[in-house]
């Protein structure tokens, strides 16, 4: 069986029309038909999906399941396909013109590139990305097959939610790069059909706890679990998903912290408890980079800082700001602010409340690479102040002799 350049893999369930539109776009991806194949895992659809595939896309390889295997059912296609690069998409996402050819060039240029992560555009013009920059996104990522052969596929017991995190951490630990490229894009329709918010909350909580228990180094597990679960609890309460959150906590702690320790199965690298090394975790969490950035701001004269956005990594920003000698006076986030809410002892407040605080600089406390400019513009419009990136070089901040510091309360 000859090797192809790319194998597109996706899973679907009861989204016949959307899937048809996506496959038409894939056919026009810019590669010759001899360079790629397409694999669809159908999770027991009942809306005519299989008949549509037989009629309209006879060249597509279909794996028909008699049950819903979730997003991780893509493993079945990844294992059987034969492309050097596995292009993971959703049934409602597809690459933009020219992106696939450029992606192949990225892999040729960097032999250690394990995952080429695409930027994602949504129908309303917004962008989408993982909360962490070295975690790929399932609706648009090319994966090197040789890397998958080394570290394994998606974690089979995750069903859906956070499976990309687990595989990304194993790739990083295996010495592979997981990198997002600004010239690679997919369009994601973000179809709402078949999405169950309460189930998503439960699986988000469960799988993130499993991820921490299985992959995070022992010395940081408790800290990250407390920080991430506190934020998920805030979100669950706002969505009315308290019971889903609690169920997710119980399932995640049992599966990822207790059972995986009691009954390790080293034969399955995707489900066994195997913490990644310190270097890989540093690349994932960016904790050393956050600390270095905070120290630069402290050396430049900042003492009191306002963090903006209670993103998934906000706890890391608080801890490393303190380690650098900075005082964090608040976390501004209109979506998650409530009276009495704190992260590591720092109050989470609305932007209007934050405007009354005397601070030296406002720093974006979100690692997600999407929408940074939008966040800065929104902050400037709401407060009249500048929002800075922890990682931006000092020369940029202090250009033309201007001070990068701000004071929200001159008095």
The torsion region of residue 325 among left (phi > 0), alpha (psi -120 to 50) and beta comes to left
pTM above 0.95, yes or no: no
Strand partners, 127: 121
Q: So what's the pLDDT on residue 404?
A: 46
Give me the sign of the Cα torsion angle 276, 72, 181, 367. negative
Superfamily (CATH) of domain 4-188: Spore Coat Polysaccharide Biosynthesis Protein SpsA; Chain A (3.90.550.10)
Same fold, 4-188 and 286-401: no
Topology annotation, domain 286-401: Rossmann fold (3.40.50)
Question: Cα(171)–Cα(173) distance, rounded to whole angstroms?
Answer: 5
Contacts 24+ apart (CB under 8 A), 224-230: 224/315, 226/315, 227/314, 227/315, 227/316, 227/343, 227/344, 228/312, 228/315, 229/205, 230/343
Would you write out the chain's pLDDT as a tens digit for each of its 411 residues? 457 999 999 999 999 999 999 999 999 999 999 999 999 999 999 999 999 999 999 999 999 999 999 999 999 999 999 999 999 999 999 999 999 999 999 999 999 999 999 999 999 988 999 999 999 999 999 999 999 999 999 999 999 999 999 999 999 999 999 999 999 999 999 865 545 699 999 999 999 999 999 999 999 999 999 999 999 999 999 999 999 999 999 999 999 998 876 666 666 777 788 999 999 999 999 999 999 999 999 999 999 999 999 999 999 999 999 999 999 999 999 999 999 999 999 999 999 999 889 999 999 999 998 877 778 888 888 888 899 999 886 544 443 433 444 444 433
Beginning with the edge strand found earlier in the chain, give each strand of the sheet holding 361-364 in spatial order.
Answer: 342-343, 346-349, 327-332, 304-308, 361-364, 388-389
- Which phi and psi (to 5°) does residue 70 adopt? 70, -170
Q: So what's the pLDDT on residue 192?
A: 56
The answer to whether 114 touches 144, Cβ cutoff 8 Å, is yes
Segments making up each domain of the chain, as ranges? 4-188, 197-283, 286-401
């Amino acid at each position: 069986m000859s090797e192809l350049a790319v194998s597109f893999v996706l899973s679907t369930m009861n989204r016949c029309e959307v899937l048809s539109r996506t496959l038409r776009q894939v056919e026009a991806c810019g590669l010759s038909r001899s360079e790629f194949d397409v694999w669809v895992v159908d999770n027991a659809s009942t809306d005519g999906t299989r008949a549509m595939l037989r009629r309209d896309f006879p060249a597509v390889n279909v794996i028909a399941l008699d049950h819903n295997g979730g997003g991780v059912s893509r493993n079945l296609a990844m294992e059987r396909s034969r492309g050097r690069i596995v292009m993971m998409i959703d049934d409602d996402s597809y690459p933009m013109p020219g992106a696939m050819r450029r992606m192949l060039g990225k892999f040729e240029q960097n032999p250690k590139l394990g995952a080429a992560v695409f930027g994602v555009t949504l129908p309303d013009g917004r962008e989408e990305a993982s909360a962490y920059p070295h975690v790929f996104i399932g609706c648009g990522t090319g994966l090197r097959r040789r890397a998958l052969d080394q570290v394994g596929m998606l974690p089979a017991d995750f069903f859906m939610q956070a499976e990309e995190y687990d595989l990304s951490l194993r790739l990083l630990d295996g010495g592979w790069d997981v990198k997002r490229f600004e010239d690679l894009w997919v369009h994601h329709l973000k179809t709402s059909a078949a999405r169950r918010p309460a189930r998503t909350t439960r699986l988000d909580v469960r799988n993130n706890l499993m991820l921490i228990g299985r992959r995070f180094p022992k010395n940081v597990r408790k800290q990250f679990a407390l920080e991430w679960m506190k934020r998920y609890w805030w979100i669950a309460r706002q969505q009315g998903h308290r019971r889903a959150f609690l169920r997710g906590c119980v399932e995640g702690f049992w599966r990822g912290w207790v059972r995986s320790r009691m009954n390790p199965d080293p034969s399955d690298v995707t489900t066994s408890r195997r913490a990644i090394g310190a270097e890989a975790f540093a690349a994932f969490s960016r904790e050393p980079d956050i600390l270095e950035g905070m120290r630069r701001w402290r050396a430049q004269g900042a003492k009191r800082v306002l963090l903006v956005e209670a993103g998934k990594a906000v706890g890391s920003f608080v801890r490393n700001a303190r380690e650098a000698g900075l005082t964090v006076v608040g976390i501004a986030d209109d979506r998650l602010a409530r009276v009495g809410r704190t992260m590591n002892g720092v109050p989470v407040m609305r932007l209007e409340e934050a405007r009354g605080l005397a601070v030296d600089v406002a720093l974006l406390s979100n690692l997600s690479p999407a929408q940074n400019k939008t966040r800065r513009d929104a902050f400037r419009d709401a407060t009249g102040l500048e929002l800075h990136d922890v990682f931006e070089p000092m020369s940029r901040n202090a250009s033309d002799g201007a001070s990068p510091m701000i004071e929200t309360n001159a008095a």
